[in-house]
Amino acid sequence: MVRCFIAVTVPDEVKMHVSHLQEQLKEIPIDCKLVESENIHITLSFLGELSNEEAENTKRKIDVVCRKFSNIEAKVCGLKIIPSESYIRVIALDVFDNDGKLQQLSDEIKRTVGGDVKPPHLTLCRVRDVKNKNEVLSKLKVWKTFDAGSFTISKIVMMKSELSRDGPAYEVLHTSELG
């Protein structure tokens, strides 16, 4: 069994901007686990534990989905609090494109592959505890329009995630080119 998810890898330039924002997040009164720079990605679907046979079938399904889409121009911007401002569990950045193709890709993954599909986002940190909610929300509002940059999505990946005390270790199991 392998723990898997479907994602978009992001270029180093975007990771650099994201890492800079993560450094600033350390200054607000929250207890959180930042996503390591090498693990920064855009989540499309969390698949959970798959057998080897299920993983192989999933790879084929992802290939079918990706053939239906051409490259997507995406922008990583705008701070997002998940699930809500009243219950802060994840701080993330939204991911947009001008023509809605990224959401269409996400919808097609949900229909064809399944898994726990959320709107595309880039996780900055997972929050364990909020020390002063009013102060946290006030500081986070400053980054509501944060822009980590734009890039072309030309492929999606199926990742293996191994959890350890040092945090997750990711490995690309399969790459599917768009178009």
What domains are defined for the chain?
2-177 (3.90.1140.10)
Q: Is the pLDDT of residue 136 over 80?
A: yes
Is 164's pLDDT higher than 90? no
Specify the pairing of strand 2-9 against strand 41-50: antiparallel
17 in catalytic set: no
Query: Active site includes 20?
Result: no
Place of tokens 């924002």: 21
User: Are the C-beta atoms of 59 and 50 separated by less than 8 Å?
Assistant: no
Options 17, 20, 41, 174, the catalytic residue: 41
How confident is residue 36, by pLDDT bands cut at 50, 70 and 90? Answer: very high
pTM of this prediction?
Answer: 0.89
Catalytic residue among 17, 20, 121, 174: 121
Alpha helices, DSSP H, located in the chain: 12-25, 52-67, 101-112, 133-141
Q: What percent of the chain has pLDDT over 90?
A: 82
- What whole-number distance in Å separates Cα of residue 121 and Cα of residue 105? 13
Mean pLDDT, all residues of the chain: 93
Mean pLDDT of 167-176: 91
